[in-house]
Amino acid sequence: MRELLFVHVVRMPQSGTPWVVPLIPVSGGLSSFAAGRVIVGLMIAFITGANKGIGFEIARQLRDKEVTVVIGARDAERGQAAADELGADFVRIDVTDDDSVAAAAGVLSERYGRLDILVNNAGIAVWGEEGLVPSEAPLGAVRKLYETNVFGGIRVTNALMPLLRKADAARLVFVSSGLGSIGAGLDRGQEFWALNFLGYNSSKAALNMVAVSYAKELWDTPIKVNLADPGYCATDLNEHTGPRTPAQGAAVAVRLALLGADGPTGAYMSDEGEVPW
């Protein structure tokens, strides 16, 4: 039998006038994995790389769940435009720059005092630079990938950890990729066997271990840390060649961001369930 939880949400909009969201039934499970009950209302979420693509859709879907959304983006003009479209807040952040990340943390602390959800979505690919032959991959291209895809997530998480700890039960989500799965990467029968990108694939595998490390640190706290594999989505990253939409790719990250207390931590999830490490 499907368990239902009825959530009474009181939220303060920008006007300061209180209002009550109607009681809403929420499923006890999330998609194809046991994810616990969904918590909505009165939550503050910061999403990096959220001015377009999957990050923008994560922001949109969280907004639709009555979460207060803060768009994080390097380009101030595009970030503000995305925030205006969603009716969200905007904080500029360059995940590769210590000063920029520290400044963003200061702004978020001053405006909100805590973070209930952090989605580390910012990431890059340099397919043409690194190529498909690992022994010929330029180290400069690999370093560039790691600076954003790995060190960027660490830099942002460490800077915002004090705000996550101030929330009652924060959710930390890292947007990874199926190309970061070592198990799937060694399966010659899987469809992406030929995509042997040394830098991109290994940066996502490294990010997976980064998330596991935070999950272990926070194991005995209410904070849950998980990884989302959005699948092959049509975004600027791949010149819009993916068969999935950004909205479809965003869904698993949103589910992980809204996990209840009985949801998993240290998990690597796609729409289909657990992804092999």
CB-hemisphere CA count at 13 Å for 251?
14
Which two structure tokens, joined as six digits, stand for 115? 């973070």
Is residue 214 part of the annotated active site? The answer reads no
Rounded CA gap, 274 and 260, in Å?
18
> Which residue among 65, 112, 144, 200 is the active-site one?
200
Q: Which residues pair with 120 in a beta bridge?
A: 174
Which two structure tokens, joined as six digits, stand for 162? 């004090």
Is residue 224 part of the annotated active site? The answer reads no
> Which residue among 65, 112, 144, 204 is the active-site one?
204
Rounded CA gap, 171 and 154, in Å?
15
Are 66 and 11 contacting, i.e. CB atoms less than 8 angstroms apart? yes
> Regarding beta strands 224-228 and 171-175, do their DSSP bridges make them parallel or antiparallel, or are they unpaired?
parallel
CB-hemisphere CA count at 13 Å for 20?
5
- Residues acting as catalytic residues: 200, 204
